Chains A and B, each alone.
Chain A
Amino acid sequence: MLQKQEMEEVLSILLEAGGDFGELFFEDTRSAEMSMIDGKLEKVNSGRICGIGLRAFLDTNAVYAYTNDLSIENLKGTARRIGKALKGLPKPQEPFILNEKHYETKLPVLLPFEIIEKREKKHVMQMANEGARTYAPSGSALADLIGQIEVSYLEKDQYVRIANTDAMLTEDRRRRTRLTTRVIAAENGQKETGSSSPGYGTGFEFYNLIDPREVGQEAARIALRMIRADYAPAGMMPVVIGNGFGGVIFHEACGHSLEATSVAKGASVFCGKVGQKIANDCVNAVDDGTIPNAWGTSTVDDEGTPTQRNQLIENGILKGYLVDRLNARKMGANPTGSGRRENYTYAPTSRMSNTFLMPGQSIPEEIIANTERGLYAKTMGGGSVQPTTGEFNFAVLEGYLIEKGRVVKPVRGATLIGKGHEVLEKIDMIGNDLTRSQGMCGSISGSIPADVGQPTIRVSELLVGGRNA
């Protein structure tokens, strides 16, 4: 690991070479992945990545380099090379001293991964597999429909040490684990998939907090419920979106447009709208990187700024953006603890952490009861979004038709199509059942863990793609 004095020397070179700000991001990460198909462990892989990212700014221009040759000679040479690329005026630097800052961890761990034997981790996967396999009673017609069960286990132990020319030196250790189960049901040549993927920022004690069997059962429940469903109707209609992973729509269609990465370039539909009404009065949204042990939490972000709770929307009014150091310069704003990256091979930029809509007053049943006809999108699948325009489309993994205020039957093959900012204005009911779910979010600084969440909500009108007009 790079010593403090070595970091001070390399940072000085970044400034000497022409930058007005320099930063080092050292990372040493150990991870393990295991994958099981139909109860048989197919693959186990584990290892370590270790390297350092060097970054320098001159005004709003940035240069970045990474290497895993950690020799001080290489780091000094790299610092000189990228510092020159800024084309600033070389200037002699006084040696400066880094001040170490320690923060109380927001990701405390009781059972570190390294003290748990791999056979225990395998046992957790077997329980998830068993939960899925036995969800439908043995010998029943439904049991025969389960085609394949895939279970994967992930653990990651990331240590980072961050220093910059504001004399800051800090460190963080992020341990995360996740259990994913995917069940494929098949009948008459048709296939439907159900999945469940809980994750947490803890050690192995996570598997004392959840029942892995229930993870498998949930995946099987969705697949079996959908395999015999009729196809969804198409057209404009009210859509009730279920809690938890339903928040992926807000994350994708609105959250990304609130990241300074797109705002600073004027490439967001929310540019210049702080203080303006962008959503219905009932909408409140936050991004909170401080939630203890949450999937998207860290003690400091990947620029060394302590994470914080950022109010994005309050009573329909846009309150602020998610801002990293570089874009803070461009926007004349303060960093919000939102500079994140997958690992040292990426320069950080503004990203979400744990992003969710706040709960409202309605109970979920009341929302359904107040919907004459529409779609209940209980569980969302994947989708895509165009951040510049806010246009999105998302698949509904588990959907139901609502008629006369009642859920009448499951429907499959539905997609939700719309624009993020328009949806915000059309949210007219918000439930009191906020939950969060876990995902991996991909953007220009790589794939990072992020929580999405919301209570049950109703969008008064949304275009549903389906087969039955």
Chain B
Amino acid sequence: MNFETFKNAVFDIAAKKGLKNYELFGMEQREFEINFFEGAIEGYKDASSSGASFKTIVDGKAGMSFTEVWTPETAEKIIDDACENSQQVDASDPEFIYEGNGSYRTFPPFEDRYVKLPVEEKIAYGLEMEKAAKAHHPSIVNIPHCTYFDAAERFYVSNSHGVHLECGREGGGGYLVAVASDGKAAKTGLEFVAQESPVGLDFVTMAQKAAERALKKLGAKSIKSGKYPIILDYNMVGELLSLFFIYDQRRKRAKRVIAVSWKATSSDRFSRDHYRQRTLYRRRNLEYPFRC
């Protein structure tokens, strides 16, 4: 069952149950990744998935549920679950289903530029970056992480107030961790590159930067504890800002730099609420009390 069919099933059931305010968010994802180690492919991932979340407002309270199984049975189940969930909520903040206003800017649909890249070319990128990092300096002794990745997402939102939108985005890149050693201590350096189009991706420079980061740390000594003025470079500022996000993998952080293309299928504006639903559908943990 595709999203359109599932949406129709959900909307039919919701109408029969007498719901007035509801919204369905759907998502389809594709993910491709190759990991390299010592000149060979160590890991290879080629994946796709889809899912949907449903939100309804009953007596002013919002209930939500999600599913990755698109069948007539689950269409009814997510409605029932969302209704049940809404009955438990105490929050007094007003909830609403966005009706949309104004017109939507339409972007050209994305072109699956990464999908069209031959796998052989992607493998060459990965091998190239690992080689470049190793060749950068004799003190680079290990490349424990060397990855090429690309991904695409398409998401949909439809609601009882006439919003029917879809949007897609794609992107790709790579990241590399280099280990430098002077025989006394080992230090690591990480760098990544990511962009919306594969044209102009510079994996070699990225790999050399990772190696350089590791090399610069060699010979570092502890300083006395105390108060110092600290200069933060732009990467460090980015690192600090990233702490506000749940993402715990740099690969995922890199993936946020991706192209967005929109195709408006109604004259309504995409609301912030839809983004919230999107995260709800994939979010599987409440918290990260400790992270690695």
Contact = CB atoms under 8 A, between A and B. Distances in A.
Contacts of B42: 60-62
Contact of A50 (B69, B144, B286): B69
Contacts of A197: 287, 289
Contacts of B289: 180, 195, 197, 382, 438-440
A218 interface: no
A271 B144 CA distance: 13
Interface in B207-257: 222, 225-226, 248-249
A469 interface: yes
A256 B292 contact: yes
Interface stretch (A39-47, A135-143, A280-288): A39-47
A33 B285 CA distance: 8
A152 B63 CA distance: 16
Interface string A30-65: 010111100111111111111100000000111111
Interface in B54-68: 63-68
Contacts of B142: 265-267
A384 B291 contact: yes
Given A44-B63, A386-B188, A469-B226, A68 B292 contact: no
A441 B292 contact: yes
Contacts of A66: 45, 47-49
A118 B84 contact: yes
Nearest to A150: B287
A50 B49 CA distance: 10
A65 B47 contact: yes
B280 interface: yes
A355 interface: no
B78 interface: yes
B225 A119 contact: no
A453 interface: no
Contact of A44 (B88, B185, B292): B88
Given A35-B286, A343-B284, A388-B188, A48 B89 contact: no
* A34, A49, A234, A252: residue with the most chain B Cβ atoms closer than 10 Å: A49
A65 B46 contact: yes
B225 A389 contact: no
A46 B85 contact: yes
A45 B85 contact: yes
* B63, B65, B90, B187: residue with the most chain A Cβ atoms closer than 10 Å: B90
A49 B68 contact: yes
B43 A347 contact: yes
Contacts of B222: 463
Contacts of A35: 286
A64 B43 contact: yes
B88 A34 contact: yes
Interface string B56-99: 00000001111111000010011001001111111110000000
Contacts of B275: none
A265 B42 CA distance: 11
Contacts of A440: 285, 287-291
Contacts of B167: none
Contact of B65 (A36, A47, A463): A47
Contact of B47 (A67, A252, A388): A67
B250 to A, nearest CB: 11
A278 to B, nearest CB: 16
Q: How large is the interface on B (under 10, 10 to 19, 20 to 34, 35 or more residues)?
A: 35 or more
B115 interface: no
A442 B49 contact: no
B9 to A, nearest CB: 16
Given A382-B291, A469-B226, A44 B85 contact: yes
Nearest to A344: B49
A67 B48 contact: yes
A66 B46 CA distance: 7
B65 A45 contact: yes
A385 interface: yes
B179 interface: yes
B44 A82 contact: yes
Contact of B119 (A62, A64, A85, A438): A85
A416 B248 CA distance: 21
A277 interface: no
Contacts of B144: 262, 265-267, 388
Interface of A: 31, 33-36, 39-51, 60-69, 78, 81-82, 85-86, 118-119, 122, 152, 154, 178, 180, 195, 197, 234-235, 248, 251-252, 256, 262, 265-267, 342-343, 345, 347, 382-389, 438-444, 447, 452, 463, 465-466, 469
Smallest CB-CB A-B distances: 5 pairs:
A47-B66, A44-B85, A267-B144, A63-B44, A40-B90
28 contacts: A40-B91, A41-B89, A41-B91, A42-B89, A42-B90, A45-B64, A50-B69, A51-B49, A63-B44, A67-B47, A68-B69, A178-B286, A180-B289, A235-B225, A256-B292, A265-B142, A265-B144, A266-B144, A267-B179, A347-B45, A384-B291, A389-B185, A440-B285, A440-B287, A440-B291, A442-B288, A442-B292, A447-B285
Given A47-B53, A61-B44, A447-B285, 11 more contacts: A42-B89, A47-B81, A49-B68, A62-B42, A65-B46, A81-B46, A265-B144, A267-B179, A382-B291, A387-B292, A439-B289
